[in-house]
Homo-oligomer: A and B are copies of this chain.
Amino acid sequence: MKRIGINDIAKKAGFSKTTVSFAFNNPERLPEQTVRKILDTAEELGYSPDPIARSMSTGHTGTIGVLFPQSIPDVIRNPFIPEFLAGVGEICTREGFSLMLVPPLKGSIKRAIENAAVDGFVTLGLEEYKASMLVLRQRGVPFVTVDSDPIEGVPAVNIDDETGAKAAMLHVLEQGHRDICILAIRSGKEGHYEEYHGTLHYRMNGYLAALAEYGLTLDRKRIRLVEGVCTEAGGEESFTAIWKNRSHPTAIVSMSDIMAIGVLKAARDAGVPAQDLSIVGFDDIPMSASVSPALTTVSQPHCRKGQLAAELLLNSINGEVDPTHYVLPTELVLRKSVFPVDV
């Protein structure tokens, strides 16, 4: 039992393929009777148009892809990804586009890019962007980068990581802390922060700039750097690592809320009173407002990022590319997890 096609309808209804196609796509140009007859036979035969064939002919798919650097499970459990996707999805919904999640295919981003039947890509935090950008260029569809070092001529959306990070660190310093641990996201650099890229690089810069204002630097004694896996468990492990040291910091400045929450939990489990360990996060994920003490953190407009990226991409698809590199603001959200240091 073969699939019913436009041909079968044409035959049965006694018209040509063209007419049938019109009946679906330009019904106003056909006599009502013809349209009715064709639609009826289509219904009768149980016809459903083939989206692939349609795309083949029209040259577009009505779908945009969000290109991730890691597998879907890894990436979607990141609590701010859903907010970002909500932003992208909002524009998609408005403009009648579908959304495809494009993780590396069998470990290869290149393969993923080549295989995705989409009209364009939003790339999220691509690391090995040099290679991927080439493939994207070659792929021949427009793309917009989010959270990666912007490329000349390609629309980009980033946030002001440096300002946000600086504000976070300044706040901690203003409260009198001088024994501080920076909790960075592990990226294989083993503490060589000079080699950090993109987001990590800018956040680090912000932290260091704030420290510099107080005449401080990463001295590995009172101001230290620890790297952890960017998950709640990673935060717990990091706390353990930090705490097993002889001298404890009075504050931890974390590059990610989810790690900060892990630290909070581990600290509580270890019986450390909240006021003995201040902590600031980054990202402002939904959970951060609910934990106790509520997490002071740097908020960034996740949803807006998604919206803007999607808008830029859709414009590019329509031939109106705006190669601006947008930088969205970040904001320090004061909650309850930073305490003034006792004198």
**Which residues does A use to contact B, with CB under 8 Å?**
3, 46-49, 51-53, 55-56, 61-63, 71-73, 76-77, 79, 81-83, 85-90, 92-93, 96, 98-103, 105-106, 112, 114-117, 135, 138-140, 261, 286-287, 290-292
Q: Are B71 and A90 in contact (CB under 8 A)?
A: yes
Contact pick for A100, options B53, B101, B105, B114, CB 8 Å? B101
Q: Are A61 and B98 in contact (CB under 8 A)?
A: no
Contact B72 A89 (CB under 8 A): yes
Residue of B whose beta carbon sits closest to that of A111:
B96
Q: Which residues of B contact A98 (CB under 8 A)?
A: 100-103, 105, 112, 115-116
Query: In the bound complex, do residue B290 and residue A51 qualify as a contact, i.e. CB atoms below 8 Å apart?
Result: no
State whether B71 touches A76 (Cβ < 8 A).
no
Chain B nearest Cβ from A310, distance in angstroms: 11
Kindly provide the distance from the CB of A58 to the nearest chain B CB, expressed in whole angstroms.
Answer: 10
Give the docked Cα–Cα distance between A140 and B92 (Å). Answer: 25
Q: Complex formed: what's the CA distance from A98 to B48 in Å?
A: 23
Residue contact B96 to A105, C-beta cutoff 8 Å: yes
Contact B92–A72 (Cβ < 8 Å) = yes
Q: Do residues A77 and B83 form an inter-chain contact, with CB atoms below 8 A?
A: yes
Q: Is the CB of B81 within 8 A of A116?
A: no
Residues of B within 8 A of A117 (CB): 51-52, 55, 61, 63, 117
Q: Chain B residues near A287 (CB, 8 Å)?
A: 286-287, 290
Are B89 and A48 within 8 A (Cβ)?
A: no
- Which residues of B have CB within 8 Å of A86? 72-73, 76-77
Residues in B whose Cβ lies below 8 Å from that of A286 = 79, 287
Tell whether, in the assembled complex, residue B52 and residue A61 are in contact, meaning their CB atoms are under 8 Å apart. yes
Q: Which residue of B lies closest to A71 (CB)?
A: B93
* 7 A-B contacts (beta carbon < 8 Å): A48-B139, A52-B61, A71-B90, A72-B89, A72-B92, A98-B102, A98-B112
A89 surroundings in chain B (CB, below 8 A): 71-73, 76, 101, 103
Q: Which residues of B contact A100 (CB under 8 A)?
A: 63, 98-101
Interface centre among A46, A81, A101, A287 (most CB of B within 10 A): A101
Cα–Cα, bound, A140→B100 (Å): 21
Q: Which B residue sits closest to A232, measured CB to CB?
A: B286
Partner of A103, one of B79, B93, B105: B93
8 smallest CB-CB distances across A and B, nearest first, come from A72-B89, A73-B86, A51-B117, A99-B101, A71-B93, A48-B138, A100-B100, A73-B90
Given A52-B56, A290-B290, A93-B116 contact (CB < 8 Å): no
Among B48, B71, B93, B102, the residue within 8 A (CB) of A72 is: B93
Query: Which chain B residue has the least Cβ–Cβ distance from A62?
Result: B115
> Which residues from B are CB-within-8-Å of A140?
3, 48
How distant is the Cα of A138 from the Cα of B53 in the complex, in angstroms?
17
The docked-state distance in angstroms from the alpha carbon of A284 to that of B335 is 26
Whole-angstrom CA separation of A39 from B92 in the bound complex: 37
Shortest beta-carbon distance from A301 to chain B in Å: 14
